[in-house]
């Protein structure tokens, strides 16, 4: 008879107890800065989760919870406050709310440090239940799901997500926010989260400009089968009068890097473009005539950007 051990080799009761202790510690430190959000929209009552990102009552949540709703009420502890909306961005699926109060807040982490199989903790308000911790692993960083591309790479968290938990923070084991839950995957056994660096891009735009300012450079990329470069993306065309044309980018240039994002495949361009901000210069590295060169470009407002369009798949919570 083949006997299977009750736990993987090296995984002991002491290890399990240590993990449980770490999760409990993060939960106790973070739970007071996580809030339940109640609201109405044209379809009825909404319930979701959000979290304070500043001590002045600024809240980050998902667009599905706070993007188009009204009569928004925020609950944390025994407190109830009306909230008003500062930002609603369909491209990122981010909504930023504000209450008039001094509040606890969660520290931000760096989502670029996320690795597959890293442990993560989510704290949300499932249905009408109290703040609840969930523990799991990072399953991947995906640019598409079911043949649909996202506007930036999303964190696939192997953490069950229930009704009411859209907008919940995804935390690392240091209690820092690395993502925000947006929508569940299939049967709610896992979820996609927006990396916190992407959400912070939206917040920084608002702080600096009073609105979200996606940048446009005017380049149409195409996939190539060139085996001479690590990048398989080249410029197919450059829009007349665009920042790219004015900076000197040319059709046939192989895209190597946009800002700090290395370009390997076509979806990498969309991921890099998400972080472009109008009127904020960015270095673009290309290969032309087998020589690498870096060109500084200042994006402008995207002429085709329509706030009502939402490329992210985000079913109603």
How far apart are alpha carbons 68 and 111 in whole angstroms?
A: 27
pLDDT bin (cut points 50, 70, 90) of residue 315 is very low
* Domain segments of the chain as ranges: 12-207, 215-301
How far apart are alpha carbons 138 and 307 in whole angstroms?
A: 30
Identify the pLDDT of residue 303: 75
pLDDT bin (cut points 50, 70, 90) of residue 2 is very low
Q: What is the pTM of this model?
A: 0.87
What average pLDDT does this structure show over 66-72? 96
Identify the pLDDT of residue 304: 57
Architecture of domain 12-207: Beta Barrel (2.40)
Q: CA geometry: angle at 184 spanning 182 and 190, to 5°?
A: 115
What average pLDDT does this structure show over 280-288? 96
Taking CB atoms within 8 Å and a gap of at least 24, the contacts of 220-226 are: 221/255, 221/266, 221/269, 222/266, 223/265, 223/266, 224/254, 226/254
What average pLDDT does this structure show over 186-207? 94
The CATH number that domain 215-301 falls under is 2.30.42.10
Identify the pLDDT of residue 147: 82
The pLDDT of residue 56 is above 50 = yes
Same topology between domain 12-207 and domain 215-301: no
How far apart are alpha carbons 166 and 180 in whole angstroms?
A: 8
The pLDDT of residue 116 is above 80 = yes
The pLDDT of residue 312 is above 50 = no
pLDDT bin (cut points 50, 70, 90) of residue 10 is low
Give the single-character DSSP code of 31: G
């Amino acid at each position: 008879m083949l006997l299977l051990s009750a736990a993987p080799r090296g995984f002991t009761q002491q290890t399990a107890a240590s993990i449980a202790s770490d999760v409990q510690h993060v939960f106790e430190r973070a739970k007071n800065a996580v809030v339940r959000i109640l609201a109405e929209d044209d379809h009825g009552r909404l319930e979701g989760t959000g979290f304070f990102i500043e001590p002045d009552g600024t809240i980050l949540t998902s667009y599905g919870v706070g993007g188009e709703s009204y009569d928004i009420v925020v609950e944390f502890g025994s407190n109830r406050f009306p909230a008003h909306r500062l930002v609603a961005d369909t491209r990122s699926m981010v909504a930023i709310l504000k209450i008039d109060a001094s509040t606890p807040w969660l520290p931000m982490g760096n989502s670029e440090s996320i690795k597959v199989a890293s442990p993560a903790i989510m704290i949300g308000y499932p249905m009408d239940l109290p703040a609840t911790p969930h523990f799991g692993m990072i399953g991947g960083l995906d640019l598409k799901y079911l043949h649909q591309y996202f506007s930036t790479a999303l964190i696939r968290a192997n953490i069950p997500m229930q009704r009411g938990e859209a907008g919940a923070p995804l935390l690392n084991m240091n209690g820092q926010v690395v993502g925000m839950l947006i929508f569940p995957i299939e049967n709610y056994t896992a979820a996609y989260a927006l990396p916190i660096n992407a959400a912070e891009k939206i917040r920084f735009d608002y702080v600096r400009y009073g609105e979200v300012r996606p940048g446009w450079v005017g380049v149409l990329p195409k996939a190539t089968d060139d085996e001479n470069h690590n990048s398989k993306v080249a410029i197919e065309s450059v829009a007349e009068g665009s920042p790219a044309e004015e900076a000197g980018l040319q059709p046939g240039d192989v895209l190597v890097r946009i800002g700090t994002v290395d370009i390997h495949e076509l979806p990498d361009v969309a991921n890099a473009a998400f972080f472009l901000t109008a009127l904020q210069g960015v270095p673009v590295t290309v290969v032309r005539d087998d020589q690498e060169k870096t060109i500084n470009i200042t994006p402008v407002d995207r002429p085709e950007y329509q706030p009502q369009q939402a490329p992210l798949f985000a079913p109603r919570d």
